[in-house]
Structure 1
Amino acid sequence: MNTFDAEITVRPKTLDWVNRHLDRGECVVEAEPLRGGMTAEVRRLTIGTGDTVTRHLVLRSFVDSFYLENAEDWLNREAGALTLLAGTSVLAPELVAVDPTAAWCEYPSLLMTHLEGRPVLDDEGIETRAPLLARQLVAIHALRPAERPQRFRTLTMAESVVIPKGGDATVWDAAINVIREPAPPYEGRFLHRDFQPGNVLFDVSPSSPTRARITGVVDWSQPSWGPADLDVAHCCTNLALLHDPSWGLRFAEAYEEAGGVPATAASERLFWLVRDALSCSEEVELWARAYQGAGRTDLTTSILERRLDAYVTSLMNALGSCSWSDAGG
């Protein structure tokens, strides 16, 4: 087995850094990009000795100038989360090395073990995968770390929401008013903060999409302490946009059926569900690009806008006060 052209696949300084963290006699012999990342460049590295492949690692580097200012914080938090998760019931990569300030690499980077499996975003088989996702999220929320991660943050404000083209202004105004209220009280839980199908790996055969199992959860750059509903809401929004608006509330039900404990009051659940959906309204084009990069080329920005509008409407109909609909009629 020959070593590959480092300059084409992994940047020279980063390659030297990776090699310093390998076992004696090992070297990187191949690298391939992994699809779907929105914030970072992710590559699977094949490690070998002579003509023998010994293992695979994953290299995650922040190269986009838009995300560089947060890279140090995110990589330090991910390294801490991977260390915390080692030996728990939640399958996650193991930390190999981290260079959060790009002291050794061209860009801030993290090296971790590779988990088998792949993200699955196809419509076929979602009825099987949704309960698995729900059970996995319940397991994450059951973790009780000795040292809590930092408190969750949400950035969306009422003034930053973007109503989709063709969206019902009455519904959206009512939804925006929901997040003008103070956040409801909650019982703190360990959160992933980006739990969604793109960050969950499945072992599933294309010929048998209904026979699937989860092999791991990745992208632990923003572990937080906060309400379980926040993680649930983010997965709900993703499923509603990936598959159908109805999957948002269906996943919330699946989470509760799996033993998860959401907020008791409908108004409290609505707050978190609406907040996450409205945060997506500011980045629909980015979400479309991420989905397309992960293989869902059918999901254009306009399709996501229509699905988001339908999803927000369904939330307000199912959990919101009837006063907003009376005002519109």
Structure 2
Amino acid sequence: MVPDHDAAAVRPLTLAWVGRHLGAGERIVGTEALHGGITAEIRRLTIGTRDGGTRDLVLRTFVDVEQAQDWLNGEADALNLLTGTGVPAPGLVAVDPAAAHCEYPSLLMTHLAGRTMLDDEGLETRVPLLARQLVAIHALRPAERPREYVTLTTADTVVTPKGADVAAWAAAIDVIRGSVPSYEGRFLHRDFHPGNVLFDVPPARPEGARITGVVDWVATSWGPADLDVAHCSTNLALLHGPAWGLRFAEAYEEAGGVPAAAASERLYWRVRDGLAFSEEVQLVSQPWREAGRTELTTQVVEQRLDAYVTALMDAPG
């Protein structure tokens, strides 16, 4: 995520709430707004410790978001479930989902080292790492399952981009008019994509990249592994080109992931996720531009989405 010092101020009630969850002798000595998310305000808080050192926390705040309470309860539950699993997720410090203490619903968590990587350079190294990380997430078997997955896109809400391959899009829409395939449930991140994965990349050695964290567990749920695969595939297709969306699905299987056995079932989830992006291209592309991918205009992203959906429909079974 990208820092913005001008938007870093923490509201007074929230500031007091955070203070009550710090250790003895600790205080906030710096704040920094992080951009890259869509629905939440995210800030890095630098905490001065009693011994003169510092540590960082991350504050997520939802302002005027109807689902905020459910989302924060879900994320808090997910972070607790992930503790000790080996999946590099933040640790929960405190949560105020109903804004009983803060101006708005908020969650405080530990800060993870690393940074998001959205550039094309080093992608051939990062895609297998992303695939292996997603396989590890899907391998989790928590004692208590998270909520069932939700997908809101319907055949009637899809927005076919201007200039798109109309026949391919009509065929894709017909795919999701069909019944939902049966599936074996898995633990899903539900918003797994490069913008929610942190990397450490040695200077001048992109092949030495490693994942240091997976963030944004707000939508954690239980459902088909193919849905997570599809979501990351679509993001990669829009960020780097349709071929990378297709490549990620292959990398997931190479890493030991088990997608649906039938090609028609795999296609259903991949098409469904791709079509979902048609409704919010401008919304999802703006954070990428803010992060430095200024060439990813709404028009460019729409063109890549069209090419990806067409490639899915043209791909052999």
TM superposition score category, shorter chain reference: over 0.9
Q: Give the SS at the match of 1:176.
A: helix
**What is aligned with 2:242?**
245
Instruction: Confirm or deny that 1:121 pairs with 2:96.
Output: no
Answer whether contact 1:267 1:319 (CA < 8 A) is retained. no
State which drifts further: 26-35 or 127-136: 26-35
Q: Give the SS at the match of 2:53.
A: strand
Give the deviation of 1:8 after TM superposition: 6.2
**What is aligned with 2:55?**
55
Give the deviation of 1:105 after TM superposition: 0.8
Give the deviation of 1:122 after TM superposition: 0.5
**What is aligned with 1:69?**
66
Answer whether contact 1:121 1:198 (CA < 8 A) is retained. yes
Instruction: Confirm or deny that 1:161 pairs with 2:155.
Output: no
Where in structure 2 are the equivalents of 1:2-81 lying within 5 Å?
Answer: 9-49=9-49, 52-63=52-63, 65=64, 68-81=65-78
**What is aligned with 2:252?**
255
**What is aligned with 1:133?**
130
Answer whether contact 1:35 1:293 (CA < 8 A) is retained. yes
Q: Give the SS at the match of 1:96.
A: strand
Structure 1 runs of 4+ aligned residues shifted over 6 Å read none
Instruction: Confirm or deny that 1:147 pairs with 2:148.
Output: no
Give the deviation of 1:9 after TM superposition: 1.4
1:267 to 264, 270, 280: 264
Q: Give the SS at the match of 2:273.
A: helix
TM-score (norm 1): 0.92
CA offsets 1:66-99 (integer angstroms, 9 cap, x no match): xx11000000000000000000021100000000
- Please give the alpha-carbon distance, in whole angstroms, between the structure 1 residues aligned to 2:158 and 2:261: 27
Answer whether contact 2:36 2:290 (CA < 8 A) is retained. yes
- Please give the alpha-carbon distance, in whole angstroms, between the structure 2 residues aligned to 1:268 and 1:130: 23
Q: Give the SS at the match of 2:229.
A: helix
In the alignment, structure 2 segments of 5+ residues that lack a partner are: none
Q: Which amino acid aligns with 2:101?
A: W
Q: Give the SS at the match of 2:244.
A: helix
- Please give the alpha-carbon distance, in whole angstroms, between the structure 1 residues aligned to 2:233 and 2:201: 22
Q: Give the SS at the match of 1:231.
A: helix
- Please give the alpha-carbon distance, in whole angstroms, between the structure 2 residues aligned to 1:88 and 1:49: 28
Answer whether contact 1:200 1:217 (CA < 8 A) is retained. yes
- Please give the alpha-carbon distance, in whole angstroms, between the structure 2 residues aligned to 1:30 and 1:296: 28
Answer whether contact 2:8 2:33 (CA < 8 A) is retained. no
Answer whether contact 1:46 1:53 (CA < 8 A) is retained. no
**What is aligned with 1:227?**
224
CA offsets 1:203-243 (integer angstroms, 9 cap, x no match): 01453222200001000001111100000000000000000
Give the deviation of 1:292 after TM superposition: 1.2
Q: Give the SS at the match of 1:263.
A: coil
In the alignment, structure 1 segments of 5+ residues that lack a partner are: 321-329
Answer whether contact 1:199 1:218 (CA < 8 A) is retained. yes
Give the deviation of 1:112 after TM superposition: 0.3
Query: Identity of aligned pairs, percent?
Result: 71
Q: Which amino acid aligns with 2:12?
A: P
Q: Give the SS at the match of 2:93.
A: strand
Instruction: Confirm or deny that 1:209 pairs with 2:187.
Output: no
Q: Give the SS at the match of 2:287.
A: helix
CA offsets 1:280-314 (integer angstroms, 9 cap, x no match): 00000001112112221111000000000000000
**What is aligned with 1:327?**
none
TM-score (norm 2): 0.96
Instruction: Confirm or deny that 1:96 pairs with 2:96.
Output: no
Q: Give the SS at the match of 1:194.
A: coil
Instruction: Confirm or deny that 1:303 pairs with 2:300.
Output: yes
- Please give the alpha-carbon distance, in whole angstroms, between the structure 2 residues aligned to 1:206 and 1:165: 41
Instruction: Confirm or deny that 1:185 pairs with 2:182.
Output: yes
Q: Which amino acid aligns with 1:221?
A: V
Q: Give the SS at the match of 2:163.
A: coil
1:283 to 280, 297, 301: 280
Give the deviation of 1:50 after TM superposition: 6.2
TM-aligned CA distance change 1:8 to 1:170, over 3 Å: closer
Answer whether contact 2:8 2:32 (CA < 8 A) is retained. no
Give the deviation of 1:319 after TM superposition: 4.5
Answer whether contact 1:138 1:255 (CA < 8 A) is retained. yes
- Please give the alpha-carbon distance, in whole angstroms, between the structure 2 residues aligned to 1:206 and 1:12: 40
Answer whether contact 1:82 1:95 (CA < 8 A) is retained. yes
Q: Which amino acid aligns with 1:38?
A: I
Q: What is the aligned-residue RMSD (CA, Å)?
A: 1.6
